[in-house]
Amino acid sequence: MSIINTKTRKIQPTHPGEMLREDFMPDYGLTTKRLAERLRVSRQTVNELLRERRAITPAMALRLSRLFGNTPEFWLNAQRAVDLWNVQTAYKNELERIQSLNAA
């Protein structure tokens, strides 16, 4: 049985780039250059991700999960939370004007 979360978040969820920058890279002693090499992507790609200007794609989630030994779902769920929060915040007034349907 799942528990439905009905509370609205007040602050933005942590971006996966921040998680990489603040938690993963220091723990593994990785620099931007070394992380890019290990992931087999450009330094620019990693830099944009770390600066939170790029989203985690399914391909990147697979690369990160392989490197750090966790699941791609971990990375994709973190990105999904950020994306949903951003859109919900941007469209808050418009979404509030939509009335819920009741089953007949």
Domain span including residue 23: 16-96
The structure tokens listed for 7 are 């509370």
* Number of domains present in the structure of the chain: 1
**pTM, to two decimals:** 0.85
For residue 9, is it within any domain? no
- Helix residue ranges, H only, the chain: 16-19, 25-28, 32-39, 43-50, 58-68, 72-90, 92-96
6 lies in some domain: no
Query: 4-56, pLDDT tens digit by residue?
Result: 766 776 899 999 999 999 999 999 999 999 999 999 999 999 999 999 999 99
Tell me, what CATH number does 64's domain have? 1.10.260.40
Cβ neighbours of residue 76 closer than 8 Å, sequence gap 6 or more: 56, 58, 61
User: Is 10 contained in some domain?
Assistant: no
The answer to the question of residue 102 being in a domain is no
